[in-house]
Chain A
Amino acid sequence: MATSAGYSACAQEAPPVRVLSDTVEYCTHLQQLVQERPARPPDVNKLFADGRRMCEHGEVRRGVSRLRNALWLLNHRNLPR
């Protein structure tokens, strides 16, 4: 069983790395991906609208989460089993 003690820890704390998928730019990128899809069901449209609104109001991570849900539904809902 791995524990945090078993991982390589830096002797000195390394400078943090910024995550790009939490940014407004990435939110915009996701909005474009959703908009590129021609037929969007109402629930997807609702998620898309919520996500865009949240990103515009500074709630970037929640907005990104909504847009990711929308994309996931578009990509996986009607996949043949």
Chain B
Amino acid sequence: MRIRLPRAWIFRSASVRLAAVYGLLFAISSYALVLFLWWATTGALDEQVEAAIHADSQAFQERWEEGGLPAVGMAMDKRIAEDIDDEAIYSLNGARMERLGGNLDHWPSNVVEAGQYYEVPLIRDGVKVRALVYAYNLFGGVHLLVGRDVRGRAQFTHLLPGMLLYATIVVAALALVGAMVMRGLFRRMVAEVSSTAAAIAGGELGRRVRRSGRGDEFDAMAEAINNMLDRIGRLMDGVRQVSNAIAHDLRTPITRARTRLEDAATHAGTEAELRAAVERAVADLDGVTSVFQALLRIAEIEAGSRRSAFAEIDLGPLLADLADLYGALAEDHDLTLTLRVPDTLPVYGDRDLLQQAVANLLDNAIKFSPRGGRIALSAELAERQVRIVVSDQGPGIPQQDRLRATERFFRGEQARSTPGSGLGLALVQAVATLHDGTLLLDDAGPGLRATILVRSLPPKADPRINENAHMNAGSSGPHPDATTVVAQTTH
């Protein structure tokens, strides 16, 4: 069993952790820079030393070829005498390592092989220093050693610990200041979000995160949070409105059923009267049940679970069947229903839901059209979209009501006298949204034109589909006065 020890508050603070990480990164990068500079500088010094040794050895080789050992000795003495930098190290020794020239009192014991570099300890004016040397074998067993005093590099190397110490102090101070600044920025940003969240939790639902106006990442986050809060607010308003609407709209039929039953229980004289009252009450309660079913169906559609049942469907025959079905109903109401759809309208979606959405629009059109009126059901394929239009010659929906027309239970002034639950257009909207589509409501002058736009399937090898697409390529776009009641969503 693990025992969790309480951490000190300082490590629980995200701002302190952020500051610590900043300080650590700053220190690491500073140390890395110092080490890189040291490495590059010592490397450059070594390269210079090696170049000087190489140049000297080339010169001695030439003197050897010109005049042999005496010439090399003279050249060496001259170079030592003019060595203003006081860095040249030479040694010329015979076959038995006896000293022939140079400025070393004997051949270094650790230089045992020609053709490679050695570091040799020297005593210069009583001080121990180091030299980098290179050994050569000349003809006749003569040994040549050329080198440079590298005390400068050694001094620089010895400077490193001191440099690192000072760098540590400076870096620590700068890291501390930087960390405090970072901590302040972080705390200020978090404090604004935190105080807004606390205010909202305390009931101040209209509170929003303040933006600095700099347009930076914090502003982008504040905007995203505010958008989220606005969205939540709208959803809460919707829930509240639907709850109120349910309570209001269902109270009437339930009260009516109760009154009927009570009246029948008190006044019914015969079994037939009692049965008739019960049947009317059952009809009222069936209406209540159907409202709940419609609400549940809308909720199910909005949840998106039906999307898994999507399939390739052809709306052409589907709309023709609906026209047949509703044509008879329209005739009963002394209306004329006309149909204008191509043979094939391929879409990817839920057949039953699209059928129900169009049926709702036709239901509304029949319900609100005056006797002798005309209802038109048309569809076309345009710009990879299938446009289904139902227009009537009824009173239409006033411009100011169109945005709210698809809210649950919304009923305009002119619809209050007509039977209905106010859920029909809400369901159409939900179906359109489920299909990544749009529902448009606009004036048919007179009447209402309801348009469902859904994406069509991409063209296939089927020649009929291509033919239809070509046939409808010149179709017009949405009506300029149309109100988009469902924002098209992408997934």
Contacts and interface: CB of A to CB of B under 8 A. Distances in A.
Interface of A: 1-4, 6-10, 13-22, 26, 30, 33, 60-61, 64-65, 68-69, 71-72, 75
A6 B43 CA distance: 11
Contacts of B84: 65, 68-69, 72
A7 B105 contact: no
A33 B122 contact: no
The DSSP consensus for interface residues of chain A is helix
Nearest to B104: A17
Contact of B125 (A15, A17, A61): A61
Given A3-B43, A14-B110, A60 B81 contact: no
B121 interface: yes
A62 B281 CA distance: 124
A26 B105 CA distance: 12
Contact of A71 (B82, B86, B103): B82
Contacts of B117: 2, 6-8
A48 to B, nearest CB: 13
Contacts of A68: 81-84, 86
Nearest to A2: B46
B122 A19 contact: yes
Contact of B103 (A9, A19, A65): A19
B455 to A, nearest CB: 64
Contact of B121 (A4, A7, A15): A15
B264 interface: no
Contacts of B82: 68, 71-72, 75
A19 B81 CA distance: 13
B50 interface: yes
B266 interface: no
Interface in B32-54: 39, 42-44, 46-47, 50
Contact of B123 (A14, A18, A61): A18
